Structure 1
Amino acid sequence: MTHKLGILISGRGSNMQALVEGSRVPGSPYSVALVASDKPEAAGLAWAAGQGIATFARSPKGLAKADYESQIDAALRSHGVEAIALAGYMRLLSDAFVARWRGHIVNIHPSLLPNYKGLDTHARAIEAGDSHGGCSVHIVTEELDGGAVLGQSKVPILPGDTADTLAQRVLAEEHKLYPRIVAQWLSR
């Protein structure tokens, strides 16, 4: 059975692209039904449209959060989406939205959760003197970056690393980890 995946992005969508490529692997348990963004100018939307994937874009400016999220929800449901992957979506989802999709939303986070929830993860790992950074795929809950971790990849922190150099290496791992974990999650 192939599950219909919706992907939410806010920018270039490099993890979205990795998920789309993962959906094209023979036997993949998912197809990408919709790419949606809170930024109509997001570069990832043009890439997705060029791949023949349906897109939805709506700026939340001037809308109440509930109204904005109801439009995203309607777009996802109208495309038959069964599960959602956040891929650089830089808006916090409301508790009500998470409750409507409970157990059906995953996110990729650039740290080894439970360490460094939120922002500036790479700088925080370097400042703490950690030997490794990395990324985690987790179930989205009402708690920021607090849901069950489905998979992780470790990336060594090298002497002289900056947040930017570490981020580049972690992103390369994200592109490998996210499609693999989404496929496992949707095969359960």
Structure 2
Amino acid sequence: MQSITQACRDQGWPAEVAAVIANREQASGLEWAAAQGIPTRVVAHRDHADRAAFDAALAREIDGFSPDYVLLAGFMRILTDDFVRHYAGRLVNIHPSLLPLFPGLGTHRQALEAGVRVHGCTVHFVTPVLDHGPMIAQGVVPVREGDTEASLAERVLGIEHVVYPAVASWLAQGRVSLDDGKVAVRGIDDRCFGLAADGARAASHPSGGRA
């Protein structure tokens, strides 16, 4: 959330972060967002009888800001089908694996147990099927000898902070389209980002070049 907000302001996107909404009052991002002058709200799931009631309240709060897109970041709640359909084509999530590998929880443990040599993250549109929505972009990191879940998670987090702001900028610029379950991004030749073994970043740009 912080990376997206800072990139939006620093890079002059034709967009703004309308609000930051959490389901826990203790969410650290709320204090940071408020300090930036961004409206914040809390919709506590414990205050509602079931998931449907919570999702309905959450949707009412979101719709009060009339956003073009809803970006999930660290929101660890399974959303109801009605909520997902309400924001069809506008609800975006980041998942800490190279989907379709390792959906659900414990992705870094799964990657280490599987013995894969690369791991990463996926930004995708949300559908009623958990972690299976149309993919917009992916970020790739190496899995190193001696990696633990913690060390791998830290490396993946680094590439998440590259990929998600990039996707948010494409959305803000109207570059992303979703047609019949397929994603197209205009002006972007490569939607895969990587962190090299020495930590140097390689990322796609609208020109299709790399830096």
TM over 0.5: yes
**How does the TM-score come out when normalised to structure 1?**
0.88
Q: Report the number of matched residues.
A: 173
Q: How far 1:62 sits from its partner (Å)?
A: 4.0
What do the CA deviations read for 1:105-150 (whole angstroms, capped 9, x no partner)? 1111110011000111111111111000101100000011100110
Report the equivalent of 2:114.
Answer: 128
Matching residue's letter, 2:31 = A
Q: How far 1:175 sits from its partner (Å)?
A: 0.5
Deviates more, 1:58-67 or 1:39-48: 58-67
Report the equivalent of 1:140.
Answer: 126
Equivalent of 2:92 in 85, 96, 106: 106
Residue 61 of structure 1 aligns to a residue whose secondary structure is: helix
What CA RMSD, in Å, does the superposition of the two structures yield over aligned residues?
1.1
Equivalent of 2:27 in 37, 42, 50: 42
Structure having the higher Rg: 2
Q: Does 1:165 align with 2:135?
A: no
Matching residue's letter, 1:114 = P
Q: How far 1:182 sits from its partner (Å)?
A: 1.7
Equivalent of 2:9 in 5, 16, 24: 24
**How does the TM-score come out when normalised to structure 2?**
0.79
Matching residue's letter, 1:109 = H
Matching residue's letter, 1:106 = V
Q: How far 1:158 sits from its partner (Å)?
A: 0.2
Q: Name structure 1 gaps, 5 residues minimum.
A: 1-15
Divergent runs of 4+, >6 A: none
Q: Which has the higher contact order (CA 8 A, sep 6+)?
A: 1
Report the equivalent of 2:161.
Answer: 175
TM-aligned CA distance change 1:100 to 1:45, over 3 Å: same
Q: How far 1:29 sits from its partner (Å)?
A: 3.5
Deviates more, 1:167-176 or 1:18-27: 18-27
What do the CA deviations read for 1:59-83 (whole angstroms, capped 9, x no partner)? 1114132222222111111112121
Identity of aligned residues (%): 41
